[in-house]
Amino acid sequence: MLKTLLAGTGIGAEMYAPIIKAHPLLDPACVISRDIQRAKAVKKEFGFKSYSDNWLSEIDRKDIDAVFICTPTYTHFEIAKSAILAGKHVFLAPPMTIDSSEAEELTTLAEQHNVCAVVDHQRTYQPARKYVQQLIADNYVGKLQQIERIYRNKTHISHQVDHLWKWKTSSGGGVMGLQLIQDVDFLLRVAGGMHTIDAKTISRVVERFLPDGSAIDFDAEDSFDAHISFHNGISAQIQANFATPGRAVDEFIFYGSKGVLILSNETDIIGFSYKPDSKRDRLAIPPGFQIHSVPGSISFTSSYYMADLFTAAIFHESAISPTFDEALHVQRVIDAAKQSADLNHAVEIGTPPERQTSSPLYSDPKEKKRSFVTKIYE
């Protein structure tokens, strides 16, 4: 079993502590939180052996094999770097880091130290998304031409904020960085490499206040629009509004030469042919795309599946995705989107550059144990 340290008790307690407790190959060894009482409560609830409010004092422990990091984005780099240097395997909640320079350094370190390092882009493994990828690959709608992504909810419509860091771009805040991560990962898998991105950010709620009523100086957006062009000529339009009182919408619409495919609310898949007598056809997700063998106590099944792949990669050297290298490329796209919004014009993304490593792992390709470099986005 992997003796596991959990850093973070916000989403960590909601998503990852139950997974660590339930997974047969993960042993809940230690939980870390800035709030020591919170750490103590999570330890008791999920059966961790110890707790602390200081990750620096725990991450070097010889009895720790893996670190699950689900702290605010601006802390990811420092904690993940320390874990990798200590030889620990790393399971990192998205987004990977504040920017691609931090992601680049972590990726190189993970290669050099031969640790399994992944980012939990868990929506990659949601059954409906997997099936949509297969349908597009099988030309269900013919040649894919355009993609429309619409996401609207009221998450950030209130004047009052709780997590101040989410409203500072320097801390990794902003809806674009937090939402676009998993959408970009999905679009790259469906449509291939991205060429340019043209992004616009909007703050629809123009004043924000802390619970004590004091105003905050924020520079992160609550909504954005982005237009993406792909190397193969496909285009995508993304609209995300987290401050709307209207009806919640969560849809991907794929326009092809033969018809249209809609992924709605991450569960419903609807097909529509251009034939005159065609009707909307709800497509059932085949059993082979479902996630099986997940304990009934787990709500976030795709994250549990990611943890399953994580342990398999460590114990059996099996393939896993998304690795740090894949997440690095996603981070480069997010950086380009932020740059585009700042400059008010489109920014070229281009093909991911070939990165060099001094790791002895690459001295002979036949001896490479794990594949950290992906080709799925090209």
d(CA 25, CA 368): 24
- Let me know the angle formed at the C-alpha of 129 by 125 and 131, rounded to the nearest 5 degrees: 100
d(CA 184, CA 44): 37
Q: Is residue 346 part of a domain?
A: no
One domain, residues 32 and 112:
yes
One domain, residues 247 and 132:
yes
18 has pLDDT over 70: yes
One domain, residues 213 and 302:
no
In tens, the pLDDT along 88-144 reads 999 999 999 999 999 999 999 999 999 999 999 999 899 999 999 999 999 999 999
- Which of 289, 308, 336 is a domain's end point? 289
One domain, residues 39 and 177:
no
> Using an 8 Å Cβ cutoff, are 34 and 53 in contact?
yes
Q: Is residue 112 part of a domain?
A: yes
Of 358 and 277, more confident: 277
One domain, residues 302 and 283:
no
One domain, residues 110 and 133:
no
Interval 187-209 mean pLDDT? 94
One domain, residues 232 and 89:
no
Q: Strands of the chain (E only): list them.
A: 2-7, 26-32, 50-52, 66-69, 89-92, 117-119, 144-152, 194-202, 223-230, 235-241, 249-256, 259-264, 268-273, 281-283, 347-348
Q: Which residues pair with 199 in a beta bridge?
A: 226
Q: Provide the domain count of the chain.
A: 2
Q: Domain with 152 in it: what CATH number?
A: 3.30.360.10
- Say which DSSP state 284 is in: P
Q: Is residue 349 part of a domain?
A: no
Residue 247 has, within 13 A of its CA and on its CB side, a CA count of 5
How many Cβ atoms from other residues are within 10 Å of residue 231's Cβ? 15
Q: Is residue 254 part of a domain?
A: yes
One domain, residues 159 and 185:
yes
One domain, residues 253 and 131:
yes
In tens, the pLDDT along 241-271 reads 999 998 999 999 999 999 999 999 999 999 9
What is the structure's pLDDT at 318? Answer: 87
- Let me know the angle formed at the C-alpha of 322 by 311 and 342, rounded to the nearest 5 degrees: 145
One domain, residues 15 and 161:
no
Q: Is residue 372 part of a domain?
A: no
Whole-number average pLDDT of the chain: 90
d(CA 186, CA 66): 27
Q: Is residue 168 part of a domain?
A: yes
In tens, the pLDDT along 29-78 reads 999 999 999 999 999 999 999 999 999 899 999 999 999 999 999 999 99
In tens, the pLDDT along 170-194 reads 999 999 888 899 999 999 999 999 9
Q: Is residue 18 part of a domain?
A: yes
Residues spanned by the domain of 189: 124-289
Q: Is residue 336 part of a domain?
A: no
In tens, the pLDDT along 271-320 reads 999 998 888 899 999 999 999 889 998 999 999 999 999 999 999 988 88
Percent of the chain with pLDDT over 70: 92
d(CA 107, CA 84): 10
One domain, residues 145 and 174:
yes
d(CA 312, CA 156): 38
Which two structure tokens, joined as six digits, stand for 195?
A: 């060429």
In tens, the pLDDT along 131-152 reads 999 999 999 999 999 999 999 9
Q: What are phi and psi of 170, to 5 degrees?
A: -70, -15
d(CA 307, CA 102): 23
pLDDT band at 363 (very low <50, low <70, confident <90, very high): very low
